[in-house]
Amino acid sequence: MTQHSGAQSDVFVPTGKLQFGVFFQGVNSGTIWKAAESGSQTDFESFRRIVQTAERGLFAAFFLGEGLRLREHLGRPHALDVVGRPDAQTMLAALASVTTNIGLVATQNTTYNDPADLAHRLSSLDLISRGRAAWNIVTTDNAWTGANFRRGGYLDHADRYRHAEAFVETAKRIWDSWETAEGPAGRVLHEGQHYTVDVTPRLPRSAQYRPVLFQAGDSPEGRDFAARQADVIFSAHPKFDAAVEFRKDLVARSLNAGRGANAVQIMPASEFILAPTADEAAAKKEWVRSLQIGPQQAVAYLEQFWGRELSAYDPDGPLPEIDPVVEETSETRGSGFHGAKARQLADQWRAEAKDKGLSIRQFVTSRTARVDATFTGSYSAVADQLAEYARVGAVDGFNISPWLIPSGLDDIVNHLVPELQERGVYPTEYRGSTLRENLALATPVRSVEAARAL
């Protein structure tokens, strides 16, 4: 198996290459459902088409998010955004039978899963897909989500990474405990503050040894966690200068964690709005934005932060002059609610909107559209831009969220990928059949003795 020359070295070495992943969002306002060509977010055929298009474009990985409770708005499920998605691993197991090379990444929460059960299911996916599974590790800390689970809301915010790390270590021990020829090496025990695990692992290792680990947190704790545990970090810093900064920071943290400078790869979340010419791309961007954030969505977005109904406000007028509800009530939950910080946030936003002369709709569009994460332009101009990322090693690739399902990757695969290949910065074939091979990651070999000693 190949690996970066710098994986064990203390000097970062750019590979000069990029790889793509696709993040089938399935939910939220980034996915356009109002256009004539918008398909279903839940039909299997939508997933099949996206993943097969991605594989045709030699994408390294196909990502699915995880939902554990529907977002609510003023005490009820949110009416305006795309909502509803299948279980990640079940869908990926199905997609494994209609693909051969692309990696299959399941976002799975460490808080509302049991380590032995999740490790077994991920290992199953890895075997069923013949070495293509990955786990995007995320954490939750809120009791609101816990209302759907046996343990309820048991974890403090401060504990979530400590808990996640114990969880991941336990999963790794389960995966590492079965060497190819020897069978299971015995029980894996873990006794922690929040749970106890006593399990005899049942599955052999896969063609890629064990699932690849992705991580998406961005706080200092999240970055350190990724530097210690992950193979790939799914970052929020796609802009060139920020990406270079993030690389520096992550290399330092990786070295600090005793790993090589290239040990953790970086794939920022991104969105592409492409056309043959710059003008066409700019026009397309206007169209995309108008469909992503309609007038009702703009007002509803503010309602999440204000904690109260704002339907009397004109989406094309200024931000509401009334103040948010500050108490943390059970009215509004989900991605937005900031409780006591809400009033301060409202003041700040009103000032910003006034300063820039933005209406509610314009302001919300500027906040919600992935401004940093969007590459807009002609195929060749964007390819030039990306080639520069590859040259300096700002990132290892991009994790693309298509704004249209199921045709949203077509222009990327048909036009952008060939341009990148011409520039020598994108693969022209899959290196191998496992995700670890295709990402050029080192094999995490551990002896039975080492696994036992953990």
The answer to whether 161 is annotated as binding is: yes
User: Judged by CB, which is closer to other proteins: 67, or 307?
Assistant: 67
User: Judged by CB, which is closer to other proteins: 76, or 341?
Assistant: 76
Radius of gyration of the chain (CA): 22
Q: Is 334 in the site for other proteins (CB under 8 A)?
A: no
* Among 2, 3, 42, 290, contact with other proteins (rule: CB under 8 A): 42
Tokens standing for 286? 């206007």
Task: Check if the beta carbon of residue 227 is closer than 8 Å to that of residue 220.
Answer: no
Q: Is 323 in the site for other proteins (CB under 8 A)?
A: no
Binding mask 189-208 for other proteins (x = CB under 8 A): ------xxxxxx-xxx----
Size of the site for other proteins (CB under 8 A): 63
Q: How far apart are CA 123 and CA 111, in angstroms?
A: 19
C-alpha separations of 233 from 2, 268, 397 in Å: 20, 8, 11
Q: Is 48 in the site for other proteins (CB under 8 A)?
A: yes
User: Judged by CB, which is closer to other proteins: 4, or 49?
Assistant: 49
The answer to whether 107 is annotated as binding is: yes
* Among 22, 50, 61, 116, contact with other proteins (rule: CB under 8 A): 116
* Among 79, 322, 351, 392, contact with other proteins (rule: CB under 8 A): 79
Residues 269-308 contacting other proteins, CB under 8 A: 294-297
Q: CB under 8 A: which stretch of 37-45, 280-288, 344-352, 435-443 binds other proteins?
A: 37-45
* CB proximity list for 15: less than 8 A, separation 6 or greater: 4, 262, 390, 393, 396, 440
User: Judged by CB, which is closer to other proteins: 147, or 445?
Assistant: 147
Q: Is 87 in the site for other proteins (CB under 8 A)?
A: yes
* Among 4, 49, 120, 173, contact with other proteins (rule: CB under 8 A): 120
Q: Is 225 in the site for other proteins (CB under 8 A)?
A: no
Cis peptide bond prior to 406, omega within 30° of 0:
yes
Instruction: Report which of 82, 172, 67, 79 is spatially closest to residue 118, judged by C-alpha positions.
Output: 172
User: Judged by CB, which is closer to other proteins: 100, or 344?
Assistant: 100
Q: Is 112 in the site for other proteins (CB under 8 A)?
A: yes
Q: Is 85 in the site for other proteins (CB under 8 A)?
A: yes
Contact residues toward other proteins (CB under 8 A) are 33-34, 42-44, 48, 67-70, 76-87, 89-91, 93-98, 112-114, 116-117, 120-121, 123-125, 127-128, 147-150, 152, 183-184, 195-200, 202-204, 294-297
Instruction: Give the annotated binding-site residues for FMN.
Output: 107, 157, 161, 219
Instruction: Give the annotated binding-site residues.
Output: 107, 157, 161, 219
